[in-house]
């Protein structure tokens, strides 16, 4: 019986090796990559200034991985973003998928068919316009936050950067209890360099440089969406 124990331990180690590698590969696949977000938002806008929903959602999936990498602090935002991306994926892969190729085609289709619910929220699933509006507001916060990280000093307090970005964007749409909880949670944020390391593009200096490349594309998508929704009076959907 004693002789069988070492063999069992060796067998367990052999089984654990590939499984551990698989877990590590899965973790790497789920890791945030600023390059992927940059690539997605780079291909988001067409020559006709239309926002393609496929790359838009791909970019958002990358940003959600960024939020997940920060832990439970941002779960109140990341959970909502995940739900909204899933709704949009169902539209983009549904029977009317040809109407959801771009943001512009979606807005035109939903308004023409009375699917938006401009006056009040419908009892059915949220429309694509209402869903994108929620993502649009969150994108503004992320844009401001990432810009603050890019331009901040090494000793800049990320809690201040995040709070200022939140107050200038999402806070308007959250009840007092959520705003208070968010402000308290932001106090536990790691230093600026820790955020830059999460970008997975090398040194903090390299991360800052890539943020400089990525943010103009994110700003462009945000600006086109803002203008489109303002034009059709969709920015204040209930």
> Which tens digit of pLDDT belongs to each residue from 38-95?
999 999 999 999 999 999 999 999 999 988 877 777 887 889 999 999 999 999 999 9
Handedness of CA 165, 103, 84, 213 (dihedral sign): negative
Say how far apart CA 184 and CA 186 lie, in whole Å: 6
Q: Is the per-residue pLDDT at 188 higher than 90? A: no
Confidence of residue 189 (pLDDT cuts 50, 70, 90): confident
Q: Report the distance separating Cα 55 and Cα 41, nearest Å.
A: 6
Judged on CB neighbours under 10 Å (0-12, 13-18, 19+), 113 is exposed
Domains and CATH numbers, the chain: 32-232 (1.10.3520.10)
Region of residue 215 (phi > 0: left; psi between -120 and 50: alpha; otherwise: beta): alpha
Residue-by-residue DSSP string for 107-167: HHHHHHTT-S-SSS--SSSPPHHHHHHHHHHHHHHHHHHHHHHHHS-TT--HHHHHHHHHH
Residue 204, sorted as left (phi over 0), alpha (psi -120 to 50) or beta, turns out to be alpha
The stretch 152-161 carries a mean pLDDT of 91
φ and ψ at residue 31, rounded to 5 degrees:
-70, 150
Q: Does the pTM exceed 0.85? A: no
CB 198 within 8 A of CB 189: no
């Amino acid at each position: 019986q004693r002789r069988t124990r070492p063999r069992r331990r060796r067998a367990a180690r052999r089984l654990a090796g590939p499984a551990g590698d698989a877990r590590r590969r899965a973790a790497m696949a789920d890791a945030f990559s600023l390059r992927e977000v940059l690539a997605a938002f780079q291909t988001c806008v067409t020559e006709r200034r239309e926002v393609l929903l496929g790359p838009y959602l791909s970019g958002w999936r990358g940003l959600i991985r960024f939020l997940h990498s920060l832990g439970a602090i941002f779960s109140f935002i990341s959970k909502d973003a995940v739900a909204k991306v899933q709704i949009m994926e169902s539209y983009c892969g549904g029977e009317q998928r040809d109407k959801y190729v771009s943001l512009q085609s979606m807005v035109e289709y939903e308004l023409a068919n009375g699917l938006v619910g401009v006056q009040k929220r419908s009892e059915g699933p949220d429309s694509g316009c209402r869903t994108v509006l929620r993502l649009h507001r969150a994108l503004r916060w992320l844009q401001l936050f990432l810009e603050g990280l890019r331009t901040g000093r090494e000793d800049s307090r990320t809690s201040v950067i995040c709070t200022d970005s939140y107050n200038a964007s999402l806070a308007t749409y959250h009840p007092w209890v959520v705003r208070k909880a968010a402000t308290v949670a932001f106090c536990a944020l790691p230093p600026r360099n820790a955020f830059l390391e999460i970008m997975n593009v090398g040194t903090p200096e390299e991360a800052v440089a890539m943020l400089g490349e990525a943010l103009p594309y994110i700003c462009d998508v945000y600006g086109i969406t803002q203008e489109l929704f303002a034009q059709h009076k969709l920015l204040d959907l209930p």
